């Protein structure tokens, strides 16, 4: 009976620890303010390129250095601004830089690419986090 009780208690404790570990590794890993990085990544495609000033609106503003600014109402509500945006001709990989502090890079390179759909979040202090297209943390 004592062995059975000890075994049962061990299983419960180990199970509880693994549940706690899963929570610790989940969405609490990468946050900007109070928002999970994965939630912020979902808002990035809503970003619009607009002329940096009304004077440039009548010109070819997208070809003028400094002629573009980026608007995203959902990010603005969180106090975030897209300060830089690049889309590559490799199939549509993107890099969004927020507040000159954190970069979101999404891999969409065509061809044999085991990292297709992976988003990498890099903070200015060097911290890096990765999650797949389904939102599961990789690193």
Tens-place pLDDT, residues 10-64: 433 334 333 323 333 454 589 998 899 999 999 999 999 887 777 776 666 656 6
pLDDT tens figures, 67-126: 788 999 999 999 999 999 999 999 999 999 999 999 999 999 998 988 999 999 999 999
In terms of DSSP bridges, do strands 35-36 and 48-51 run parallel, antiparallel, or are they unpaired? unpaired
Q: Give the chain's length.
A: 139
Closest listed residue to residue 134, CA positions, set 111, 116, 110? 116
Q: Is the separation of the CB atoms in 69 and 55 below 8 Å?
A: no
Model confidence, pTM: 0.73
**Domain map of the chain by residue range?**
35-131
Q: What pLDDT does 68 receive?
A: 80
Which strands sit side by side in the sheet containing 128-131, from one edge to the other? 82-87, 94-98, 102-106, 119-123, 128-131
């Amino acid at each position: 009976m004592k062995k059975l009780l000890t075994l049962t208690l061990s299983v419960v404790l180990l199970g509880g620890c693994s549940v706690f570990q899963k929570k610790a590794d989940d969405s609490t890993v990468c946050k900007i303010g109070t928002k999970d990085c994965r939630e912020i990544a979902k808002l990035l495609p809503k970003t619009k390129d607009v002329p940096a000033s009304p004077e440039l609106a009548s010109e070819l503003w997208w070809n003028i250095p400094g002629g573009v600014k980026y608007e995203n109402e959902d990010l603005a509500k969180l106090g975030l601004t897209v300060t830089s945006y690049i889309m590559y001709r490799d199939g549509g990989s993107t890099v969004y830089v927020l507040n000159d502090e954190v970069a979101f890079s999404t891999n969409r390179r065509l061809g044999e690419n085991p990292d297709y759909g992976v988003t990498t979040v890099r903070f200015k202090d060097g911290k890096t986090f990765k999650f797949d297209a389904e939102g599961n943390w990789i690193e």
